Amino acid sequence: MARTPDHALAVEAVDVTKRYGPLVAVDHLSLRVAQGEVYGILGPNGAGKTTFLRMLFGLIRPDSGTVRVFGRTWDESGVGVLDGVAGFIESPRFYPYLTGRENLEGLALLDGGERATRAGRVAEVLDVVDLTGREEDKVAGYSYGMRQRLGVAASLLRDPRLLILDEPANGLDPGGIRDMRALVKRLADSGLTVLLSSHHMDEVEEICDNVTIMARGKVAFHGSLGQLRAMAPDPGHLLSTDDDARAVALAIASHPEVAVEVDPDGGLVAVGPPARLSAYVADLVRAGIGLRQFTPTQTPLEALFFMLTDAEPDDRTTVTVR
């Protein structure tokens, strides 16, 4: 992967470490987020994702290393680091007894300007996040997904160049997840740089250009989604037939690329390249073996995610693709 020129970076972290007593929350993290991309920081709970985002907002400082936002550091620029930056950590907070519009108008008032200009901007960002028509409802009656989208709307009031979102789809139902993904895609298409954290591979897979995977504060992977997919293991499938012994024997005799093993919970697990799995299943049917179940255990990227994050990461297990 070609190295992005420094002047084209929205975010850069260089060997950043943050400790809380004996706990190393972020351990020598380095990453580069190019302007205009959607970048994902992926990892299980406790991986250090939110800790790093807090550093970007200046809520905490690294013990060592350097964090730059559009080339600026907190030591050099102070709060000026946040010029052109918006977003939220964890869940956004609003006054529940006010409407969505009133909450946004209160925030816009802090920036001054003409009342008509503020009202126009509030209406614009409500439309961007698909809350037009619900803006006069009190936030107390909003679903969790609507409050998340209102948080994005609040972040957009200042027309930022960089939007930072901490687990924006966490706690959402399937419809809310779909809406949030669609919103992030629209924002990215408009040229906005988006940096988001998540512990769901499918969320990152659908919307991100590049990703850093973290585990226990360390980097386990740097690279593009394409490079991550190329590393993914062959998919596994749960397999159930009316004659599992014959199914295993057929794989051994005719399909050496497909590994079929007995699942302790019942049935079989078949692992192999997709084309080889399809050929194996076709041969099962031709052999008169009844197929009761053939369902994926997890996607290849999910399997890779667990491989990268379950093991204790160190310098030898970190994968960096440039």
Q: Please, are residues 106 and 41 in contact by the beta-carbon 8 Å criterion?
A: no
- Is 306 contained in some domain? no
- 210 pLDDT band (50/70/90 cuts)? very high
CB-based contacts of 228, cutoff 8 Å, min separation 6: 211, 221, 301, 304
Query: Do residue 223 and residue 274 come from a single domain?
Result: no
- Report whether pLDDT(103) > 90: yes
Only one residue has tokens 């399909």, namely: 255
Q: 208-236 as b/e, with b when 16 or more CB fall inside 10 Å?
A: bbbbbbbbbbbbbbbbebebbeeeeebbb
Give the pLDDT of residue 269: 86
Domain CATH code at residue 34: 3.40.50.300
- 236 pLDDT band (50/70/90 cuts)? confident
Domain CATH code at residue 255: 3.30.70
Closest by CA to 203, choosing from 177, 165, 224, is 177
Closest by CA to 178, choosing from 198, 200, 153, 203, is 203
Q: Which of 147-151, 225-229, 252-256, 288-292 has the lowest mean pLDDT?
A: 225-229
- Is 310 contained in some domain? no
Phi, psi of 82 (to 5 degrees): -85, 5
- Report whether pLDDT(59) > 60: yes
Return the H-helix or E-strand segment holding 55.
helix 49-56
Residue 115 CA to residue 9 CA, distance in Å, equals 35
Query: Do residue 158 and residue 247 come from a single domain?
Result: no
Domain end (from 231, 262, 278): 231
Number of domains into which the chain is organized: 2
Residues paired with 196 in a beta bridge? 40, 165
Secondary structure (DSSP) of 20-37: ETTEEEEEEEEEEEETT-
- 98 pLDDT band (50/70/90 cuts)? very high
Phi, psi of 209 (to 5 degrees): -85, -45
Query: Do residue 61 and residue 85 come from a single domain?
Result: yes
Q: Domain range for residue 276?
A: 236-297
Give the pLDDT of residue 143: 92
- Is 99 contained in some domain? yes
Query: Do residue 29 and residue 73 come from a single domain?
Result: yes
- 234 pLDDT band (50/70/90 cuts)? confident
Q: Are strands 210-215 and 218-224 parallel, antiparallel or unpaired?
A: antiparallel
Return the H-helix or E-strand segment holding 152.
helix 144-156
Residues paired with 239 in a beta bridge? 268, 294
Give the pLDDT of residue 29: 96
Residue of 315 and 209 predicted with greater confidence: 209
Residue 1 CA to residue 155 CA, distance in Å, equals 31
DSSP 8-state class, residue 139: G
Query: Do residue 216 and residue 247 come from a single domain?
Result: no
Domain end (from 216, 231, 246): 231
- Is 191 contained in some domain? yes
Query: Do residue 165 and residue 203 come from a single domain?
Result: yes
- Is 169 contained in some domain? yes
Give the pLDDT of residue 1: 53
Only one residue has tokens 């909003």, namely: 142
- Is 268 contained in some domain? yes
- Report whether pLDDT(266) > 90: no
- Is 302 contained in some domain? no
Q: Please, are residues 162 and 10 in contact by the beta-carbon 8 Å criterion?
A: yes
Q: What is the mean pLDDT of the chain?
A: 87
Query: Do residue 35 and residue 97 come from a single domain?
Result: yes
Query: Do residue 132 and residue 174 come from a single domain?
Result: yes
- Is 4 contained in some domain? no
Give the pLDDT of residue 102: 96
- 2 pLDDT band (50/70/90 cuts)? low
- Token pair, residue 100, equals 């969505």
- Token pair, residue 310, equals 């379950």
Query: Do residue 244 and residue 264 come from a single domain?
Result: yes
Give the pLDDT of residue 319: 43
Query: Do residue 189 and residue 245 come from a single domain?
Result: no
Query: Do residue 65 and residue 138 come from a single domain?
Result: yes
Residue 146 CA to residue 297 CA, distance in Å, equals 32
Query: Do residue 147 and residue 279 come from a single domain?
Result: no
**For 297-321, how does the pLDDT look when each residue is reduced to its tens digit (9 = 90+)?**
766 677 777 777 774 444 434 444 4
Residue of 169 and 73 predicted with greater confidence: 73
Give the pLDDT of residue 4: 63
Residue 88 CA to residue 313 CA, distance in Å, equals 28
Give the pLDDT of residue 318: 42
Only one residue has tokens 């919307």, namely: 207
Give the pLDDT of residue 297: 78
- 104 pLDDT band (50/70/90 cuts)? very high
The percentage of the chain sitting over the pLDDT mark of 90, rounded to a whole number, equals 54
| Dihedral sign, Cα of residue 299, residue 301, residue 303, residue 309 | negative
Q: Please, are residues 71 and 8 in contact by the beta-carbon 8 Å criterion?
A: no
Q: Which of 2-16, 48-62, 275-289 has the lowest mean pLDDT?
A: 2-16
**For 4-51, how does the pLDDT look when each residue is reduced to its tens digit (9 = 90+)?**
666 689 999 999 999 999 999 999 999 999 999 999 999 888 899 999
Domain end (from 231, 247, 281): 231
Give the pLDDT of residue 230: 79
